[in-house]
Amino acid sequence: MPDLNRTPLFDLHIELGAKMVPFAGYELPVQYPLGVMKEHLHTRSAAGLFDVSHMGQVVVWPKSGKYEDAALALESLVPVNVLGLGEKRQRYAMFTNEAGGIEDDLMLANMGDHIFVVVNAACKEADIARMQTHLGESCRIEVLQYRALLALQGPAAEAALALLAPSVAEMAFMDVAEMTIAGAECVVSRSGYTGEDGYEISVANSNAVDLARALLAHPDVEPIGLGARDSLRLEAGLCLYGNDIDATTSPIEAALTWAIQKARRAGGDREGGFPGADRILDEMANGASRRRVGLLPEGRAPMREGTRIFVEGSDTPVGIVTSGAFGPTVERPVSMGYVETSHAEVGTVLLGEVRGKLLPVTVAEMPFRPAQFKR
C-alpha cells in the first residue's frame, strides 16, 4: 500500500494477524483472526482494544494563560459551550461552515490551562489549518504528532484498565484525567465510539506498543479492527464523518441539536457567533427540511450507503441511506440516513431500493442498542 501512513502499532497489528486496509490515508487493521462478527460481540460482552492513532490530537494554548480566552476563541468556530465546560471534562463539538454545514466533528476537553482536541483523521489537516488561521492571534496551536491514541471499549474495560491504573474506576462518562499507566504518561477520557463504557488513552508513540501489550495481556481484552468499529458505532447511532454528516449537513438535520448548549442558542448568554449561525438557529426554531433517522429494513438484507428511500406510489426519492450493515448485537440489519421531515416520524414505513426492488424499511429511534456509558 504505497504512500500510506502507519501508526506506531503497525508491527503489532501484523504480529496479531491483522488484515490491513487503507483508511483515511493510513494502513489500518480491518479485522483480526477472530473475525468482524466475533470482534463486535466480544466488545459488547467483554473488552476490545482499538488503534485510533490516525486521529488528530491538538492542544490549544491560550497566549494569556487563561482557559477562558482559549474557550471564547474556540467558540468562534464551534456552536457549543466551551467556556462553561468544567475542568477535566470533555464535550462533543463540531466545526461548522458559513453555510451551516459540518466541516468535522470532534472532542474537546478542558485541561485547566489548555484545551485538548481530537479530530477525525481525514479532516485533521484542514482542522489544524482552520484553528491556526482563526485562533492564532490569541492562541498557540500545538499539533501532537508523536502521540498514539488507543480506545479500550466494553463492559470489562474498567476492570482491565484499573489493574494498571486504579483511579480510572472513579471516572464518570466524559471525565478526563492525566495519569501514569504501565510507566507511561497518559491523558485518559472515559468515552468512546461504540456505545459501550470505555476509555480513550493518548500516549507517546514510544510507549504505545508496551501499553497495548499490557492491555492485551488481560484475558478479557481482544484487538478489534475497523470492521467491528463501524458496526458497533452504527448500532450505537453514532455518525461517521463523510457518510452521515458532511459540509452540506447542518447539525439540526443531523439530529445533533442536543450538542448545542443553551448558552449558544437563541436567547443564550453567547447566542450565535459561530459559522453558519443564521441557518442553524433558524432551523432550531423552525425545523429543517430533512432529518437523520434510524432505519430498520425488513428481512436479513442490509440497506447500505446510497440506498434510495421512497414512499409507496411515488418514484421521487424522499431520502437516502448514509450507513447500513448487519447489527450483530441486535441480530438484524440496521441503517441510518436522511428522509424528508414529513416522513421522519418513528414508525413510518417507507421503501428502500435494493438491487432494483423496493423493500419495506421502518423509521426507528436510535440508538438501536441502549448506550452503556457510566453516568
Model confidence over 103-154: pLDDT tens digits?
Answer: 999 999 999 999 999 999 999 999 999 999 999 999 999 999 999 999 999 9
Question: By residue range, what is the domain housing residue 361?
Answer: 289-367
- In this structure, the answer to whether residues 151 and 220 fall within a common structural domain is yes
- In this structure, the answer to whether residues 48 and 168 fall within a common structural domain is yes
**Mean pLDDT of all residues belonging to the chain:** 97
Q: How far apart are CA 321 and CA 337, in angstroms?
A: 4
Matching residue, cell 490530537: 57
218-244: average pLDDT:
98
- In this structure, the answer to whether residues 161 and 51 fall within a common structural domain is yes
Residue 26 has a pLDDT of 97
* Residue 88 falls in which region: left (phi positive, over 0), alpha (psi -120 to 50) or beta: left
- In this structure, the answer to whether residues 48 and 173 fall within a common structural domain is yes
65-85: average pLDDT:
98
Matching residue, cell 488528530: 56
Residue 279, domain member (yes or no): no
- In this structure, the answer to whether residues 29 and 154 fall within a common structural domain is yes
Residue 137, number of CB atoms within 10 A of its CB: 8
Residue 141, domain member (yes or no): no
Query: Please, is 323 exposed, middle or buried when counting C-beta atoms within 10 Å of its C-beta (0-12, 13-18, 19+)?
Result: buried
Residue 375 has a pLDDT of 82
| Domain boundary, last residue among 235, 254, 280 | 235
Residue 328, domain member (yes or no): yes
Q: How far apart are CA 53 and CA 266, in angstroms?
A: 37
Q: Residues, the chain, total?
A: 375
Total domains present in the chain: 2
Query: Please, is 313 exposed, middle or buried when counting C-beta atoms within 10 Å of its C-beta (0-12, 13-18, 19+)?
Result: exposed
Q: How far apart are CA 86 and CA 48, in angstroms?
A: 29
Q: How far apart are CA 34 and CA 28, in angstroms?
A: 16
158-175: average pLDDT:
98
Total-model pTM:
0.96
Q: What is the CATH number of the domain that holds 355?
A: 2.40.30.110
Model confidence over 5-63: pLDDT tens digits?
Answer: 999 999 999 999 999 999 999 999 999 999 999 999 999 999 999 999 999 999 999 99
Model confidence over 274-285: pLDDT tens digits?
Answer: 999 999 999 999
Give the up-direction half-sphere exposure of residue 355: CA atoms within 13 A in the CB hemisphere: 2
- In this structure, the answer to whether residues 231 and 298 fall within a common structural domain is no
- In this structure, the answer to whether residues 205 and 343 fall within a common structural domain is no
How far is Cα of residue 355 from the mean position of the Cα atoms in its chain? 30
Question: Which of 91, 94, 24, 372 minimizes the C-alpha distance to 254?
Answer: 94
Residue 233 pLDDT greater than 70, yes or no? yes
Residue 369 has a pLDDT of 96
Model confidence over 237-293: pLDDT tens digits?
Answer: 999 999 999 999 999 999 999 999 999 999 999 999 999 999 999 999 999 999 999
Matching residue, cell 453567547: 270
Residue 107, domain member (yes or no): no
- In this structure, the answer to whether residues 229 and 345 fall within a common structural domain is no
Question: Which of 224, 244, 242, 225 minimizes the C-alpha distance to 234?
Answer: 244
Residue 30 has a pLDDT of 98
Q: What is the CATH number of the domain that holds 45?
A: 3.30.1360.120
Would you place residue 1 in the very low, low, confident or very high pLDDT band (cuts 50, 70, 90)?
low
Matching residue, cell 430498520: 296
Residue 110, number of CB atoms within 10 A of its CB: 22
Residue 308 pLDDT greater than 90, yes or no? yes
Residue 2 pLDDT greater than 80, yes or no? no
